[in-house]
């Protein structure tokens, strides 16, 4: 793994920013309606206080696959963000801690390293801040931090690796840093769309090119999905329909009320839907807003949206053709549009061209480190 070399921190990020703006000139051949444009993928940004090293990435990988991070040792990060399922779980709603039920779709970890906000409602602003969330969450890993630190300190390999990588004992801060460093390796490589945007006009088929024109033109996807990751890093209400399990299943409704309570949302038991960003800002104008997700690697991450409402990309396109769903806060940028069958196929071909030809994956460690008594 030469991750250190290819993602060597701020320096590379600055160089890339210069290169990207140079490419931007090329890409501006396809300007979006608001001047928004598509850009080729640059190197992953690495925070100055968490540089990547091969040892840290390896420690992060070990922790990512270790179910002992959860209270009952049944759930690792990889259980819900499964490398063989596009780093999501392939079904509508997330797995959950035994005895509870989840209420949101698992967003992929792929390219999360590029995102300004983490979670559908953007409540974390870095991978480091995000990683400790699921560990304590009663509906996810339901683990106590103090207990976890002691548990991992009783595993000689972890004790040694924290010493080696961070020159420290096992701490939650450093555990988060190691996992985040590993996640920064779970990213797309520049693909055919990047080649095209960098000037190689033969990189896309005619259908994919027409699809890109629709994306940046008539279908106006570019208004929200732009830049290298095809996201504006903002929140919008698109009016994705509610799904039945969230209306009917008592355990999922309990989870919604629990989440609202946990976010100190007023009258949490009156909350009858996923209010998205409003739970964080408490501002009614944010009701129904969710983070604009990246559109890279969609081929491997179905189903789609915060509640997994849509099984296929065809369903997603049909939703947008109707101008999105019903919601009093629906974004004015969403307007109905028509596509001929050919145009529909072209737009789909462009969306598919944003995925790597083969799935990006991550290798599970051959074995997990044993405790000092020799057991797992
Ligand atoms: C029980 C399933 C489950 C487990 C275990 C789990 N996650 Fe998640 N993860 C989710 C769900 C569901 C969300 C979205 C929650 C939300 O938006 O409120 C999420 C969100 C995320 C995100 C944000 C991605 C984005 O695009 O917003 C990252 C990154 C992430 N998880 C990494 C991890 C890491 C690292 C671990 C292990 C420490 C982990 N997850 C454990 C289910 C899980
Ligand atoms: C007004 C801003 C906006 C516009 C315009 C827009 N989107 Fe989105 N898109 C979003 C938001 C926000 C979400 C997440 C919604 C949710 O989870 O409820 C999303 C989700 C998606 C997803 C699901 C991705 C995933 O990982 O779950 C796809 C695919 C998508 N959009 C494609 C498109 C296409 C194609 C167009 C043009 C036809 C388009 N979008 C136009 C804001 C927008």
d(CA 222, CA 264): 35
d(CA 146, CA 148): 5
Mutating to test ligand 2, I would choose from 38, 90, 112, 238 the residue with most ligand atoms within 8 A of its C-beta, which is 238
Beta bridge partners of 326: none
Q: Which ligand is nearest to the CA of 242?
A: 2
Q: Are residues 153 and 48 in the same domain?
A: yes
List the residue whose alpha carbon is closest to atom 6 of ligand 2.
221
The pTM (predicted TM-score) of the whole model is 0.92
Please, what sign has the CA dihedral across residues 128, 129, 130, 133? Answer: positive
Q: Are residues 198 and 294 in the same domain?
A: yes
Q: How many angstroms is it from 10 CA to the middle of ligand 1?
A: 26
Kindly report the average pLDDT of the chain as a whole number.
Answer: 92
The answer to whether 186 and 87 have CB atoms below 8 angstroms apart is yes
Q: Are residues 103 and 152 in the same domain?
A: yes
Q: Is residue 86 part of a domain?
A: yes
Is the Cβ atom of 229 under 6 angstroms away from ligand 1?
no
Q: Is residue 359 part of a domain?
A: no
- Given a cut of 90, is residue 25 above it in pLDDT? no
**Per the structure, how many domains does the chain have?**
2
**What are the pLDDT digits (tens) for 147-176?**
999 999 999 999 999 999 999 999 999 999
Q: Are residues 83 and 203 in the same domain?
A: no
Q: Are residues 69 and 200 in the same domain?
A: no
List the residue whose alpha carbon is closest to atom 37 of ligand 2.
221
Q: Are residues 92 and 214 in the same domain?
A: no
**What are the pLDDT digits (tens) for 337-368?**
999 999 999 999 999 999 999 999 999 999 99
Q: How many angstroms is it from 93 CA to the middle of ligand 1?
A: 12
Q: Is residue 369 part of a domain?
A: no
The answer to whether 139 and 102 have CB atoms below 8 angstroms apart is yes
315: containing domain:
192-239+288-353
Q: Are residues 146 and 67 in the same domain?
A: yes
Q: At 281, is the pLDDT very low, low, confident or very high (cuts 50, 70, 90)? A: very high
Closest CA to 360 of 21, 91, 44: 44
The answer to whether 108 and 87 have CB atoms below 8 angstroms apart is yes
Q: Are residues 205 and 347 in the same domain?
A: yes
Least confident span in 21-25, 44-48, 255-259: 21-25
pLDDT of residue 5: 37
**What are the pLDDT digits (tens) for 60-112?**
999 999 999 999 999 999 999 999 999 999 999 999 999 999 999 999 999 99
Spacing of C-alpha 46 from chain mean position: 16
Is the Cβ atom of 96 under 6 angstroms away from ligand 1?
yes
**What are the pLDDT digits (tens) for 229-280?**
999 999 999 999 999 999 999 999 999 999 999 999 999 999 999 999 999 9
Q: Are residues 111 and 139 in the same domain?
A: yes
Q: At 35, is the pLDDT very low, low, confident or very high (cuts 50, 70, 90)? A: confident
Q: Are residues 344 and 206 in the same domain?
A: yes
Q: Are residues 138 and 220 in the same domain?
A: no
Q: Are residues 223 and 296 in the same domain?
A: yes
Q: Is residue 52 part of a domain?
A: yes
- Based on its alpha-carbon atoms, the radius of gyration of the chain, rounded to whole angstroms, reads 21
């Amino acid at each position: 793994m030469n991750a250190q070399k290819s993602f060597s921190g701020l320096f590379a990020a600055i160089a890339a920013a210069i290169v990207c703006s140079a490419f931007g000139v090329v890409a501006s051949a396809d300007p979006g309606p608001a001047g928004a444009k598509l850009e080729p993928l640059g190197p992953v940004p690495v925070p100055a206080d968490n540089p990547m090293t091969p040892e840290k990435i390896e420690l992060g990988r070990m922790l990512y696959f270790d179910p002992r991070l959860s209270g009952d040792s049944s759930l690792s990060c990889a259980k819900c963000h499964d490398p063989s399922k596009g780093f999501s779980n392939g079904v509508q709603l997330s797995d959950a801690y035994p005895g509870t039920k989840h209420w949101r779709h698992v967003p992929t970890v792929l390219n999360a390293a590029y995102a300004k906000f983490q979670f559908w409602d953007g409540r974390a602003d870095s991978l480091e801040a995000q990683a400790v969330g699921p560990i304590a969450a009663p509906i996810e890993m339901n683990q106590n931090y103090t207990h976890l630190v002691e548990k991992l300190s009783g595993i000689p390999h972890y004790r040694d690796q924290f010493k080696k990588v961070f020159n420290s004992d096992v701490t939650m801060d450093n555990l988060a840093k190691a996992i985040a460093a590993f996640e920064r390796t779970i990213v797309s490589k520049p693909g055919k769309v990047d080649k095209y945007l960098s000037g190689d006009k033969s990189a896309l088929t005619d259908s994919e090119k027409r699809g890109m024109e629709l994306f940046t033109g008539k279908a106006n996807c570019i208004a929200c999905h732009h830049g290298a990751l095809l996201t504006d890093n903002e929140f919008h209400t698109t009016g994705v329909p509610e799904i039945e399990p969230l209306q009917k299943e008592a355990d999922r409704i309990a989870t919604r009320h629990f989440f609202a309570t946990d976010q100190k949302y007023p009258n949490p038991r009156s909350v009858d839907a996923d209010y998205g960003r409003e739970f964080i800002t408490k501002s009614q104008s944010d009701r129904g807003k969710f983070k604009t997700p990246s559109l890279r690697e969609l081929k491997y991450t179905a189903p789609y949206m915060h509640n997994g409402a849509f099984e296929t990309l065809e369903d997603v396109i049909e939703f947008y053709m109707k101008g999105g769903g019903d919601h009093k806060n629906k974004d004015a940028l969403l307007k109905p549009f028509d596509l001929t069958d050919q145009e529909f196929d072209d737009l789909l071909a462009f969306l598919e061209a944003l995925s790597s030809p083969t799935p990006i994956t991550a290798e599970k460690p051959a074995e997990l480190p044993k405790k000092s008594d020799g057991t797992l």
